[in-house]
């Protein structure tokens, strides 16, 4: 199952917000917000923590 982990403001080539994703095999990658939302990934984009919050919570 593919899921969103965190979001970044202007993280996609500096022009669009992005989501950092992880799949069931442990592969990680970034996708632009438009793709994240059009594919219906979970959780909803706006409920993803920011990268900074995600990393702070893991520290």
pLDDT in tens, 5-50: 999 999 888 889 999 999 999 999 999 999 999 999 999 999 999 9
- β-sheet bridge partners, residue 59: none
Measured distance CA(17)–CA(33) in Å, rounded: 5
Distance (Å, whole) CA 26 – CA 34:
23
Structural domain range at position 26? 3-58
Structural domains in the chain (count):
1
Q: How many CA atoms lie within 13 A of 37 on its CB side?
A: 11
Measured distance CA(6)–CA(47) in Å, rounded: 9
Nearest one of 23, 25, 31 to 1, comparing CA atoms: 23
Q: How much is the pTM?
A: 0.89
């Amino acid at each position: 199952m593919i899921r969103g982990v965190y979001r970044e403001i202007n993280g996609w080539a500096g022009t669009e917000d992005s989501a950092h994703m992880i799949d069931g095999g442990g592969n990680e990658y970034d996708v632009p917000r438009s793709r994240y939302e059009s594919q219906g990934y979970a959780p909803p984009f706006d409920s993803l923590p920011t990268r900074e919050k995600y990393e702070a919570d893991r520290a």
